[in-house]
Structure 1
Amino acid sequence: MLVGLIRHGLTDWNALGKIQGQSDIPLNEEGRKQAALLAERLKHEPYSWDFVITSGLLRAQETGEIIAASLGIPVYDPDSRLMERAFGQVEGLTAAERETLWGLDWKLKDLGQEKDQEVQERALAFLTELGERYSDKNVLVVSHGGLLAQLYRALYQDKFTERIGNLSLTILEKDEQAWEPRLYNCLKHLQE
C-alpha cells in the first residue's frame, strides 16, 4: 500500500504569512495552478492512485478535487482527523502580529492551540485505520502543514524536520511493521 501525503495548495493567507489553522480559507489562483501541476506529475509517475481523501477544509478539498479530476479517480468523504491543528487565538495573525501580542515565545503560551500530542494521536489514528481498511489500495491524502509535520514527527521522531511546503508530496509505503518513507516533502513539480 502507498499513501501519498499532500499539503494543500497556496492560499492568500499563506502568501501573507497568516496562520490558518481550522479557518476555512480557499485556494488562490496560484494554489489551483500548483494542484494542476502535481496532478500532471502524478499522471507520469510509475504508480497509480485509487482515490483521494481530504480534511474537508476548503483549501484541502479543492486541492484534492483538482487532482482527482485530472487523474480520473474519486474523492472519498472528508475525514475530520486530517484537519489542520486548531491554533486558537493566533489564527488569522501574521508572525509580526503574534510576536507583538505575545512575544517571540508565543508558541509556549496557552492561546487555545491544539497540543502536539493531540494532533499526533488523531493523525496516527487516521493512518492506522487507512492502512487497515484499504491495504490493497494506493491513496492520496490532502491535508495541512501542521498536521503533516506532527504525523512525520510521530512516525520518525526528528528524522524529518524541514518545513512542509505548499503542494509538497510525501509517499509512504506500508510494510508489515511500519510506514517506510519513499519520498519526502518533494516539490519538483513546482520547480520545473
Structure 2
Amino acid sequence: MTATTLWLIRHGETAWNAIGRMQGHTDIPLNETGLEQADLLGRQLQKDNAQAHFAALYVSDLARARQTAQPGSHAIGLAMELDPQLRERNYGIYEGLTREQIAEQYPEGFAHIKARTPDYQIPEGESLVQFSARTLDVLGRLANKHPDQQILVVAHGGILDCAYRAATGIGLEVPRGHALLNASINRLSFEDGHFRLLSWGDVAHLDPGILE
C-alpha cells in the first residue's frame, strides 16, 4: 500500500467568520477578504502543481468552499468534485449565533460546547464523535482512490481539526492548541488507514494585510 498526500485547505473568510457566528451547514459566501484569499491561493496552487501534480480536487458543496477552490480549479485545470460529506460540523440550532449568544440562550448546551463533550449531540446537529467519524470516513475514502498521488481537499475548519487530531492522537475533548486559518494549506499523508502530519497552517501565500 502506498501513501496518499492530502493538501487540506480551509475556505477563505466570510462575514460570519469576521464576527464569530457559527456557520455549520448554513451556506454563507466569502466576503471581499475571502475572495482575495482565494485568488492568492489559486496562484500558489498553480505554482505547487508544477511539482506536486495534483490528481484531483475535492470540495465541500457549500458556497464558501466552492468559491475558495474556484481560482485554483481554473489555474491548474482540475474540475471541482463536490462532496457534501466534506461540510462543516452541523451546529443545528446554534447556527447563526455567536458564542456569547449561545451562552445566553442555551447555557447548558454551551457548557458542553465549551468543554468539548465528545458525545454531546447539538439539537438538530451533530456530536463531535459523529462529526469526526464522518470526516475521517470521507478523507480516508478520497485518499484510497488515489494511492501514491497528491490530492487537494477544500473544506472547513472543523474538518481540518478532526484530521489534525487523528494525525497527532489528540482527543476530541482536548482544547484546541493548533491554528485553523482561512485559506491555509495543511498537508497530511494517509497510508494503511492512518493519517500522519506533514505540515500545518501554511499561509505564506497570503498578503499579511489580508491575513490580519
| Fold conserved between structures, TM > 0.5 | yes
Q: Distance in 1 between matches of 2:112 and 2:138?
A: 29
Verify: 1:43 aligned to 2:24, yes or no.
no
Deviation of 1:31 after TM superposition, in Å, equals: 0.7
Q: Distance in 2 between matches of 1:133 and 1:33?
A: 32
Aligned partner of 2:178 in structure 1 is: 162
1:2-151 matches, cutoff 5 A = 2-45=5-48, 46-76=51-81, 78-103=82-107, 105=111, 107=113, 111-112=122-123, 113-151=125-163
Q: Distance in 1 between matches of 2:194 and 2:111?
A: 35
Deviation of 1:173 after TM superposition, in Å, equals: 2.3
Which amino acid in structure 1 is aligned with residue 131 of structure 2? V
Change in Cα spacing, 1:120 to 1:48, as seen in structure 2 (3 Å) is same
Tell me the TM-score normalised to structure 1 length. Answer: 0.88
**After alignment, is 97-106 or 124-133 more displaced?**
97-106
Deviation of 1:147 after TM superposition, in Å, equals: 2.2
**After alignment, is 37-46 or 25-34 more displaced?**
37-46
Q: Distance in 1 between matches of 2:134 and 2:44?
A: 29
Deviation of 1:82 after TM superposition, in Å, equals: 0.6
Aligned residues of 2:55 and 2:146 also touching (Cα < 8 A): no
**After alignment, is 85-94 or 101-110 more displaced?**
101-110
- Consecutive unaligned residues of structure 2, counting only runs of 5 or more, are none
Tell me the TM-score normalised to structure 2 length. Answer: 0.81
RMSD, matched Cα:
2.2
Which amino acid in structure 1 is aligned with residue 93 of structure 2? Q
Deviation of 1:148 after TM superposition, in Å, equals: 1.8
Which amino acid in structure 2 is aligned with residue 83 of structure 1? R
Aligned partner of 1:186 in structure 2 is: 202
Q: Distance in 2 between matches of 1:151 and 1:138?
A: 16
Deviation of 1:30 after TM superposition, in Å, equals: 1.0
Aligned residues of 1:3 and 1:172 also touching (Cα < 8 A): yes
Q: Distance in 2 between matches of 1:177 and 1:129?
A: 10
Q: Distance in 2 between matches of 1:24 and 1:120?
A: 21
